[in-house]
Amino acid sequence: MLRALAYLDRQAPKIIHYDLKPQNILLNSHGVVKLTDFGLCKLFSDENSKMELTSQGVGTYWYLPPECFMRNGQAMISNKVDVWSLGVVTFQMLFGQKPFGNRMSQETIQNENIILRSKQVKFPE
């Protein structure tokens, strides 16, 4: 997955997958990881370190970083969105649950600002 994200970052314009989650990561019979579903991807040029998020409210909330949920002003994102998402996927692989909003609906995560209010990760024992 890190190679896939590095590849997306080397493209011109750079690509943010924006929907990195276990369902979009496939493993073929040769053990090769494939990243799928680029339906929400964002493109940004090399001279911009961040871009305006024009489609707030889309994506899979458990895997999105706080900047995707900004309420005051326009959210600004970068390719770090995918790095955050990969961290969430890794946490879920290791502990069998999501670090933020586990067992909550997307509606609850949005309405209660779960991602924005989260200040630390609690690791299961």
DSSP line for 6-75: HHHHHSSSEEE----SGGGEEE-TTS-EEE---TT-EEE-TT-S-EE-S-TT-S-GGGS-GGGG--SS--
82 labelled catalytic: no
Q: Is the dihedral of CA 33, 91, 51, 48 positive or negative?
A: negative
Task: Please state, in angstroms and rounded to a whole number, the distance separating the CA atoms of residues 104 and 60.
Answer: 12
Active-site residue (options: 9, 19, 46, 82): 19
Asked if residues 37 and 19 have their Cβ atoms less than 8 Å apart, the reply is yes
- Give catalytic residue positions: 19
